Structures are given as structure tokens and as C-alpha cells.
Chains A and B, each alone.
Chain A
Amino acid sequence: KQEVTQIPAALSVPEGENLVLNCSFTDSAIYNLQWFRQDPGKGLTSLLLIQSSQREQTSGRLNASLDKSSGRSTLYIAASQPGDSATYLCAVKSPSEGQNFVFGPGTRLSVLP
């Protein structure tokens, strides 16, 4: 059974800092891993999708890496802005879970102006 954890649970940084969010999963046999952003009271917005065969994906100031063998993914946010404040969730899709994504608990990010 796939289990996903995220560290830290919460993070507060001053504007302009580069930061890293971590995601770990227990079963390395995965289809893909997806990073989402959730603003308070809102739905989930997909940020990046990394396929099992890929090492990283980039979108603007965001870079997500995947190390399947160690069961880890990181989301790197460059030059953070107050608008980046949100909860970031990672989700893993793996054969052991059918077509379901297993979600981590999320990291709540606050970027202070």
C-alpha cells in the first residue's frame, strides 16, 4: 500500500527566498507524481506532473524533481513571492493503487512580504 508523506508540515519564509518542499513515498513502482497547489477555501490546481521515466519538470519559477529509487520528490520554488502562499500537496499514482492518486498531507507555505 502506497503511503505519501510531506515535510515540513508548515513553512514560513521571507519574500525572495528560494525554498524546497519535500515529498516521500513508500512504493517506488509509480506511474507518475503530481504536485498541486491549494489556496484556502479553494480547489486543487495542478502545478507539475512528473512521469516515472522523468527526473524533473520545470514551469516558470517551479522545478520538481523525482528520485524514484529513493521514493522522493522535491518541489523547488525560486525567488518566492507572497502570492506563492498556499498549501502544496504531492500525489502519487502507482499500479498498486489502481488509477487512484494517493495524496500527502501537504505543506502549508507562508511567504512574508
Chain B
Amino acid sequence: DAGVIQSPRHEVTEMGQEVTLRCKPISGHDYLFWYRQTMMRGLELLIYFNNNVPIDDSGMPEDRFSAKMPNASFSTLKIQPSEPRDSAVYFCASSLPGVNEQYFGPGTRLTVT
């Protein structure tokens, strides 16, 4: 398997624009996680899905953030409108349930100017 795939790897956008980040989990993994990493706050869980259903979105910072998982092989994280404070690295990860480990994608580095 190619591992968790994220796109784009880098995104630079202006404040107020819509940003869409994409993730393809490892095939067969039924849990998908979105994280945000900043120097100030470290690695924060935003939302996670089980079998395409959002289970816990308590980490989503505000209504400008939304995430979807239309099928088992694709998820999006959307920010609309984007703000400079959204600048961070966004990671997607996937896993099997229970005692299994988590696998991370390479991340998307987002810069909002």
C-alpha cells in the first residue's frame, strides 16, 4: 500500500479564500483522523471518522472548518473563509480499531497571508 496520501503538500492562499485539503487513507482502515500542528499548540486532533461517519468533531476550532468523508477512500477538510491564524501543517492519519497503530500522511503545509 502507498500509505496515507495527502494533497496538496503545500498551499499558499490569501485571507478570505476557501481552502480544501484532501486525504486518502490506507485501504481497509476504517478510522480516519485530521490533525493540525503548530509550534504553539503542538499536534491537535480536529475530527475523526469511523466508517465514513464523523465520531468526534470537538476539536474543530470553529464553523469555518468542515470535514467530510463521502466514501472509505477519500476525505476533505475545508476552511472557508481562511484566516492567517489557520496557517499550520495539517495531517491526516488512518488506523484499524482497537489495539492497532496509527499511520500518518506527509501533511499539508498551509500558509494564509
Contact = CB atoms under 8 A, between A and B. Distances in A.
Contacts of A41: 109
Contacts of B55: 98-99
B99 interface: yes
A42 B43 contact: no
A1 to B, nearest CB: 11
Interface stretch (B13-21, B76-84, B100-108): B100-108
B106 A43 contact: yes
Nearest to A34: B101
Nearest to B41: A105
Contacts of A98: 48, 55-56
Contacts of A99: 31, 48, 50, 55, 95, 97-98
A105 B109 CA distance: 19
The binding surface of chain A is classed by DSSP as strand
B42 A106 contact: yes
Interface string A55-89: 00000000000000000000000000000000001
B33 A100 contact: yes
B106 to A, nearest CB: 4
A51 B17 CA distance: 43
A31 B55 CA distance: 18
A25 interface: no
Contact of B103 (A46, A103, A105): A46
25 contacts: A31-B99, A32-B99, A34-B101, A41-B109, A42-B106, A42-B107, A43-B91, A43-B104, A43-B105, A43-B106, A43-B107, A44-B91, A46-B103, A51-B99, A52-B99, A93-B102, A98-B55, A99-B31, A99-B50, A99-B95, A100-B45, A101-B45, A101-B102, A103-B43, A106-B42
